[in-house]
Amino acid sequence: MITFKDVEKYYGQFHALKNINLEIKKGEVVVAIGPSGSGKSTLLRCINALEEISSGELIVNGVHINDPKTNLNDVRKNLGMVFQHFNLYPHKTVLENIILAPMKVLKEPREQAVVTAESLLERVGMLDKKDAYPNQLSGGQQQRIAIARSLAMKPDIMLFDEPTSALDPEMVGEVLDVMKKLAADEGMTMVVVTHEMGFAREVADRVIFMADGQILEDREANAFYENP
Ligand code: ADP
Ligand code: ADP
């Protein structure tokens, strides 16, 4: 579903990704760990074409994203991304935040978008907050809304960039629980940058360890813990 072949990424002179070879299959949950500045965000941002690779090949959902003929909006439509910061629209209610993109981008009629949004809100345990504004919610609640908003676009792949790093510790669990359900119940293909090793242990199929722009380890999750 995601294939990196000999991918290099430079920011100017800075070599941010070095000889990345990675194959992620449908339904796999891959956790990326490693020190700050090792290239984890860059790796995610290449997958949804927020960053352009410098050389090599990157195929996402069957599409060569470095082919100039590729319409990147078509690629991004099938990808959901959740960031450290939730980036909800502050002047829109929870429900309005979720239905906006399906109506605009997928051209869903409002009634249909609302039905989908309400079922997503139910899944993330937030239906009772559908008319609230983001600033009336805790960080953990806002992040669950941000996940629901991504899912409303019916993505094939979900990318998470440190989704719990901005949260108070007591809110981390509720967000991880939503992500666990997504992996277990729906078989969502997920790439997750996180420091939450408990999540990696329980949910990941594979753990990749990055340092200095390279993938130094790529192991089945179980093996990662048995042979550190
Ligand atoms: P991580 O997610 O592992 O913390 P990043 O992928 O964010 O690492 O960054 C990897 C390296 O690339 C860092 O040294 C960072 O400063 C650099 N970098 C990231 N984005 C840019 C950019 N837009 N321009 C220049 N350098 C960047
Ligand atoms: P995160 O830790 O969430 O990756 P960062 O603070 O590293 O966030 O990066 C935030 C933004 O700044 C990103 O868009 C990244 O590409 C950009 N950035 C990071 N490092 C550099 C850098 N050295 N020069 C220019 N832009 C950078």
Non-local CB neighbours of 174 within 8 Å, separated by 6+ positions: 125, 140, 141, 144
Q: How far is the CA of 107 from the centre of ligand 2 (A)?
A: 33
Q: Is the CB of 194 under 6 A from ligand 2?
A: no
Answer whether residue 197 is part of any domain.
no
Model confidence band, residue 225 (pLDDT cutoffs 50, 70, 90): low
Two tokens, residue 219: 């192991």
Q: What average pLDDT does this structure show over 103-120? A: 96
Q: Indicate if the pLDDT at residue 103 is higher than 80.
A: yes
Average pLDDT of the chain is 94
Number of domains in the chain: 1
Answer whether residue 94 is part of any domain.
yes
Q: Is the CB of 41 under 6 A from ligand 2?
A: yes
Gap between the Cα atoms of 78 and 228, Å rounded:
35
Q: Whose CA is nearest to atom 24 of ligand 1?
A: 11
User: Quick one: pLDDT at residue 171?
Assistant: 94
User: Quick one: pLDDT at residue 152?
Assistant: 96
Rounded to an integer, what is the distance from CA 60 to the centroid of its chain? 14
Q: Whose CA is nearest to atom 7 of ligand 1?
A: 41
C-alpha dihedral (165, 80, 76, 55), degrees to nearest 10: 50
Q: What number is the ipTM of this complex?
A: 0.74
Q: How far is the CA of 163 from the centre of ligand 2 (A)?
A: 16
Please say whether the beta carbons of 24 and 207 come within 8 A.
Answer: no
Q: Indicate if the pLDDT at residue 74 is higher than 90.
A: no
Choice among 37-41, 50-54, 159-163, 199-203 with the minimum mean pLDDT: 199-203
Answer whether residue 25 is part of any domain.
no
Q: Whose CA is nearest to atom 24 of ligand 2?
A: 11
Answer whether residue 120 is part of any domain.
yes
Answer whether residue 10 is part of any domain.
no
Return the beta strands (E) in the chain as ranges.
2-11, 14-24, 29-33, 55-60, 63-64, 79-82, 157-161, 189-193, 206-211, 214-220
Q: What average pLDDT does this structure show over 52-66? A: 94
User: Quick one: pLDDT at residue 226?
Assistant: 63
Q: What is the pLDDT of residues 156-168, one digit of tens each?
A: 999 999 999 999 9
Q: What average pLDDT does this structure show over 3-14? A: 98
Boundaries of domain holding 143: 79-154
Q: How far is the CA of 129 from the centre of ligand 2 (A)?
A: 33
Q: Whose CA is nearest to atom 25 of ligand 2?
A: 11
Answer whether residue 138 is part of any domain.
yes
Answer whether residue 49 is part of any domain.
no
User: Quick one: pLDDT at residue 222?
Assistant: 74
Answer whether residue 132 is part of any domain.
yes
**Ligand 1: residues within 6 Å at CB?**
11, 14, 16, 34, 36-42
Q: Is the CB of 116 under 6 A from ligand 2?
A: no
